[in-house]
């Protein structure tokens, strides 16, 4: 039954896209674990391939379980449409391939995920595109850095792993003024904490492996944006390159989404308490956390994020050996490169997620050898603190 009123986020993550009639009353959405779909007649098949009739053809081109996930994510991110992919990088590459051609330029935020950095370098080498990194601090700066051949602006905020923020409203204004689409990787926030499309941006990307899934058991990506653009992506870069999501993985994401708001409230609560602890510790040189009121981007965080998030990066006094020795002393906290899971995870960006980035570029991004990235989990915050404390005591 169609609702006559707008429900809130916490309700949308549970109910959006559910079709009782289609699912025969099943409370949990069925997993349509099929590679292909049958046609009643040859003529029906012809019409579906010609786009003259709605309906499913082949799971690479659409699947009911996947469609429910896409509808839910589009609603949560306030977008017209969404596409699900087999990984976050499949989503990133599909969007960048769709928006660029030989000779085009991409303007990026000062830091990006290591694999995004690698993809940009590969595109430059193989397809003769180009890209530049920008601190994106002022409108005037952005206008100077945009070139006649700039095809898109690509933003991470918070930036992985330095937690630097970019003012999305300001970037969106520049994009509109110049007619250039603005892409935002919103993985660190999820739609619960930040909605770039509401701030004027055009396309949102998630590594759904992280907070969307939330349980460390699925690899996936999501793109949200204008329907016309995503229809084009669906029938070109997604269909022909084939980075699709399986129905089972889509089902796992639907299950994870139901608790997204509850989980992120706890992630954020734990993170604020741990940030305060690390800020005062004598062996910690500096913390990078949007909720720290001494952070230069604190006002941006208050303006565009509902809460400061579940991620902290921090540097230790010492060198790379100090950082690695600290990690090796941890007992509860796991050394792993993902984030957004129930478990607290820590990683060393310079030698792990951003190892592909040359040292000179890493240093410009602010990725020091003593920088550690902590994805705060759902455990008791005191237990996480005590594990950090005993490891800090040993270095």
CATH code reported for the domain at 260-393: 3.90.1150.10
For 138-193, write each residue's pLDDT tens digit: 999 999 999 999 999 999 999 999 999 999 999 999 999 999 999 999 999 999 99
Catalytic residue among 48, 67, 72, 113: 113
- Average pLDDT over every residue of 300-325: 97
Please check the confidence at residue 1 and state whether its pLDDT lies above 80: no
Q: What is the model's pTM?
A: 0.94
Nearest by Cα to 311 from 202, 193, 128, 189:
189
Question: 72, 154, 164, 185: which one is catalytic?
Answer: 185
SS3 at position 203: strand
The answer to whether the beta carbons of residues 164 and 158 sit under 8 Å apart is: yes
Distance (Å, whole) CA 308 – CA 313:
13
Enumerate the β-bridge partners of residue 155: 184
Residues 6+ apart with CB under 8 A from 325: 394, 395
Instruction: Determine whether 210 is an active site residue.
Output: yes
The yes-or-no verdict on residue 2 having pLDDT over 60 is no
- Which residues contact residue 12 at a Cβ distance below 8 angstroms, ignoring those fewer than 6 apart? 72, 75, 76
CATH number of the domain located at residue range(s) 9-257 in this protein: 3.40.640.10
60 flagged as catalytic: yes
Whether 185 sits among the annotated catalytic residues: the reply is yes
For residue 288, the SS3 value is strand
Statement: residue 379 has pLDDT above 90: yes
| Annotated domain spans of the chain | 9-257, 260-393
Q: Tell me, what's the pLDDT at 4?
A: 52
48, 72, 164, 210: the active-site residue: 210
Of the listed 47, 56, 58, 60, which one is catalytic?
A: 60
């Amino acid at each position: 039954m169609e609702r006559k009123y707008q429900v809130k986020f916490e309700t949308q993550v549970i109910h959006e896209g559910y079709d009782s009639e289609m699912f025969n009353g099943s409370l949990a959405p069925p997993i349509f674990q099929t590679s292909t779909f049958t046609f009643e007649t040859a003529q029906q098949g012809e019409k579906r391939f010609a786009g003259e009739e709605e309906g499913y053809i082949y799971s690479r081109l659409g699947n009911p379980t996947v469609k429910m996930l896409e509808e839910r994510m589009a609603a949560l991110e306030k977008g017209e449409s969404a596409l699900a992919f087999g990984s976050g990088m499949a989503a990133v590459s599909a969007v960048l391939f769709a928006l660029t051609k030989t000779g085009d330029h991409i303007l990026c935020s000062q830091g990006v995920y290591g694999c995004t950095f690698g993809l940009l370098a590969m595109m430059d080498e193989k397809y003769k595109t180009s890209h530049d990194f920008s601190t994106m601090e002022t409108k005037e700066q952005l206008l100077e850095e945009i070139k006649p051949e700039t095809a898109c602006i690509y933003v991470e905020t918070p930036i992985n792993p330095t937690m630097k923020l970019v003012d999305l409203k300001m970037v969106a204004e520049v994009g509109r003024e110049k007619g250039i689409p603005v892409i935002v990787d919103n993985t660190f926030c999820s739609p619960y904490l930040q909605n770039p499309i509401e701030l004027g941006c055009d396309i949102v990307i998630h590594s759904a492996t992280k907070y969307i899934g939330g349980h460390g058991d699925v690899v996936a990506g999501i793109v949200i944006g204008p329907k016309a653009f995503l229809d084009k992506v669906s029938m070109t870069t997604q269909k022909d390159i084939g980075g699709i999501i399986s129905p089972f993985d889509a089902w796992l994401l639907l299950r994870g989404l139901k608790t997204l708001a509850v989980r992120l409230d706890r992630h954020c609560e734990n993170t604020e308490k741990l940030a305060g602890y690390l800020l005062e510790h004598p062996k910690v040189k500096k913390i990078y956390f949007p909720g720290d009121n001494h952070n230069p981007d604190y006002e941006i965080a208050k303006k565009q994020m509902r809460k400061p998030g579940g991620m902290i990066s921090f540097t230790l006094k010492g060198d790379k050996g100090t950082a690695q020795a600290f990690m090796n002393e941890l007992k509860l906290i796991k050394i792993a490169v993902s984030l957004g899971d129930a478990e607290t995870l820590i990683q060393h960006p310079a030698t792990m997620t951003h190892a592909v980035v040359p040292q000179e570029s890493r240093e410009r991004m602010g990725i020091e050898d003593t920088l550690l990235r902590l994805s705060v989990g759902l455990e008791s915050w005191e237990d996480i603190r005590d594990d950090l404390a005993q490891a800090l005591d040993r270095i």
